[in-house]
Amino acid sequence: MSAAVPPPADPAAAGEMAREAAAWCALHGLVVGDRADPRSGTVPGVGLVHAPFSLLPAHLPEPFWKQACELAPIFNELVDRVSLDGNFLQDSLSKTRQVDDFTSRLLEIHRKMMEINKEENIRLGLHRSDYMLDSETSSLLQIELNTISTSFPGLGPLVSELHRTLINQYGRVLSLEPKRVPGNAASSKFAEALARAWTEFDVDSAIVMMIVQPEERNMYDQYWITKYLKESYGITTLRKTLTQVEAEGHVLPDGTLLVDGKKVAVVYYRAGYTPNDYPSEAEWSARLLIEQSSSVKCPSISYQLVGTKRIQQELANPNVLERFLENKEDIAKLRKCFAGLWSLDDEEIIKTAIEKPELFVLKPQREGGGNNIYGLDLRETLTRLQKEGGDALAAYILMQRIFPKASLAYLVRGGICHEGLVISELGIYGSYLRSKDKVITNDQCGYLMRTKVSSSDEGGVAAGFAVLDSLYLT
Ligand SMILES: Nc1ncnc2c1ncn2[C@@H]1O[C@H](COP(=O)(O)OP(=O)(O)O)[C@@H](O)[C@H]1O
Ligand SMILES: N[C@H](CCC(=O)N[C@@H](CS)C(=O)NCCC(=O)O)C(=O)O
Ligand SMILES: [Mg+2]
């Protein structure tokens, strides 16, 4: 996909649009905490700044949009099927667990659940599958599938609305049509899936507990979900850190999780995906307590494990998808969007990657941005790991680097409008709810576009590399 159309005639026009757009953000809650204000991550309503955004939507030929939307329910079903094969997860991650303590702790909780034959009869997934359009092969390739704490279901739809508003105002000058910005209902759809899970839990006084980080500058993205839960379904959301759950939570003999004396129907994780979220044993015991309870976990420990990069790589191996899905067409559709993915016990590929590091990305089993290794660092890391020998290589996977076409765009951050050469990454949200053998929800539900300067290897809006964008179908 290419970013916005050639920017407005001149920087002055872009500056004027940017000012109006930033005001629109403030009026519509398209906001994040401002790093400059020490209280912006802990005190709601204090220290806000407009979310970084692209002035106009990124372009994408409609067939790729259709392809990405079609993949969502297939990936949702795949996650659920793989999550039920505990031995596959344990075996595939067995080498990783030797060298990666974080993954090892997650696997330990997973193993404990297997030992007590813990059943999750109600399973809720709120996923986001991220793609880039590889310019060399002109194919839409999956970057990763996120199954925990997928960001921006709240803010993403607002960017689509902002761009539609700007095109309504400036459409003639830009010869753009507002209806080519696809509708984006991620926030209301995520709330709907959470509310349906709450209904399946079937305890009227129960609440939704959102697991959050002690400091969270993306809290307004989270509050949008809270708002829809309350206003559309009358459901109360409790924000708790893992530390607080350890201190205030306990499980009744019938499995009900009580926190602050309230019964918890659904635990929606917006933290727990990175080692930083487990600073002590307290947070791990909170995670175990939640997993042992009858609450609906979003995600369960198995759903989280399915979303690891090692499993992404294993699922790309020959004949593996066939273990989980029957429909040959679906399997072919998934394989079509897989980039090259290798584990590091393949000497050949390591040799190639050391020779041409710019064609690869080296990934540890981490989520949240800022963890990947590129270029000369990749060569140096592989050379060192190979020399060290042993199992250290099992902490990583190697991935084909995808090269989207760069294009010009205006990015607005902190009230300043910059023109730059950018590339974009399309995220498609999926919601999946199963209650025993009934699939209640299995939908594509909205999208997120993130756009970053093409010179930046890493992505990530929270990490400060990318801005929020939306989509213009060509
Ligand atoms: N194969 C790839 N080709 C090009 N860029 C990539 C590739 N994989 C990751 N990236 C870039 O790195 C960022 C983070 O990688 P990702 O796998 O999404 O890790 P995380 O789980 O930390 O988000 C992506 O948003 C993208 O900008
Ligand atoms: N604090 C958490 C942040 C959660 C988070 O980092 N999520 C990962 C998937 S695990 C993700 O979606 N990364 C893309 C977001 C970006 O580009 O910045 C939140 O609740 O928002
Ligand atoms: Mg990512």
In the prediction, which pLDDT does 9 show?
Answer: 58
**CB neighbour list of residue 405: distance below 8 Å, 6 or more residues apart:** 2, 133, 135, 423
**Ligand 1 near 458 CB (within 6 A):** yes
Q: Answer yes or no: is pLDDT of 4 > 80.
A: no
**Residue 57 Cβ contacting ligand 1 at under 6 Å:** no
| Dist. CA 462 → ligand 2 center (Å) | 7
Q: Which atom of ligand 2 is nearest to the CA of 466?
A: 17
**Ligand at shortest distance from the CA of 469:** 2
- How many A from CA of 254 to the centre of ligand 3? 38
Confidence of residue 175 (pLDDT cuts 50, 70, 90): confident
Average pLDDT over residues 206-216: 98
Kindly give the number of the ligand 1 atom that is closest to the alpha carbon of 143: 8
Cβ of 93 less than 6 Å from ligand 1: no
Which tokens belong to 382? 């592989």
**% of the chain surpassing 70 pLDDT:** 98
Six token digits for residue 222:
């989270």
Give CA–CA dist 26/339, Å, rounded: 39
Q: Is the CB of 452 under 6 A from ligand 2?
A: no
On whether the CB atoms of residues 264 and 294 are closer than 8 A, the answer is no
Give the whole-angstrom CA distance, residue 69 versus residue 282.
40
Residue 428 Cα to ligand 1 middle (Å):
15
Catalytic annotation, residues:
128, 144, 146, 151, 309, 363, 367-368, 450
Closest ligand relative to 375 C-alpha: 1
Residue of the nearest CA to atom 11 in ligand 1?
Answer: 458
Q: Is the CB of 466 under 6 A from ligand 1?
A: no
Q: What is the pLDDT of residue 7?
A: 54
Give the single-character DSSP code of 223: H
pLDDT at 2: 59
Instruction: Give how far Cα 277 sits from Cα of 112, 298, 366, 440, Å.
Output: 21, 16, 12, 31
Compute the average pLDDT of residues 19-28. Answer: 98
CA of 160 to the centre of ligand 1 (A): 23
Domain boundaries, the chain: 11-340+410-473, 341-399
CATH of 341-399, one of 3.30.1490.50, 3.40.50.300, 1.10.3720.10, 3.40.50.450: 3.30.1490.50
Which pLDDT does position 465 carry in this prediction?
84
Does 461 sit in the ligand 2 pocket, CB within 6 Å? Answer: yes
Residue among 136, 361, 367 to mutate when testing ligand 1 (max atoms within 8 A of CB): 361
Average the pLDDT over each of 93-107, 215-229, 451-465 and give the range with the smallest value.
451-465
**Residue 390 Cα to ligand 3 middle (Å):** 28
* Euclidean distance between CA atoms 37 and 31, whole angstroms: 14
What is the per-residue pLDDT for 115? 98
- Nearest atom of ligand 2 to the alpha carbon of 459: 17
Does the beta carbon of 291 lie inside 6 Å of ligand 2?
no
The model's pLDDT over 334-369, given as tens digits with 9 standing for 90+, comes to 999 999 999 999 899 999 999 999 999 999 999 998
122-151: average pLDDT: 98
DSSP β-ladder status, 58-60 and 471-473:
parallel
Reported as a single tens digit per residue, the pLDDT across 409-446 is: 999 999 999 999 999 999 999 999 999 999 999 999 99
Q: Among 301, 305, 299, which Cα is nearest to 365's? A: 305
- Assign 464 a pLDDT band (cuts: 50, 70, 90): confident
Q: pLDDT tens digit string along 50-63? A: 999 999 999 999 99
* Predicted pLDDT at 8: 58
Q: Which amino acid is at 17?
A: M
Average per-residue pLDDT for the chain: 96
HEC profile of 376-411: HHHHHHHHHHHHHCCCHHHHEEEEECCCCCCEEEEE
Report DSSP state, residue 255: S
Which residue from 274, 372, 398, 468 has its CB within 8 A of the most atoms of ligand 1, so it is best to mutate? Answer: 372
What pLDDT, in 10s, does the model give residues 275-320? 999 999 999 999 999 999 999 999 999 999 999 999 999 999 999 9
Determine if ligand 2 sits within 6 Å of the CB of residue 251: no
Which bound ligand lies closest to the C-alpha atom of 340? 1
State the distance between the two ends of the chain, measured CA to CA, in whole angstroms: 10
Are 429 and 183 in contact by the 8 Å Cβ rule? The answer is no
Residue 401 CB less than 6 A away from ligand 1: yes
The percentage of residues in the chain with a pLDDT greater than 90, rounded to a whole number, is 92
Query: What pLDDT, on the 0 to 100 scale, is given for residue 172?
Result: 80
Instruction: State ipTM.
Output: 0.98
How much is the average pLDDT of 207-231? 98
Q: Which tokens belong to 267?
A: 């635990």
The CA-atom distances, in angstroms, between 79 and each of 1, 73, 145 are 26, 10, 9
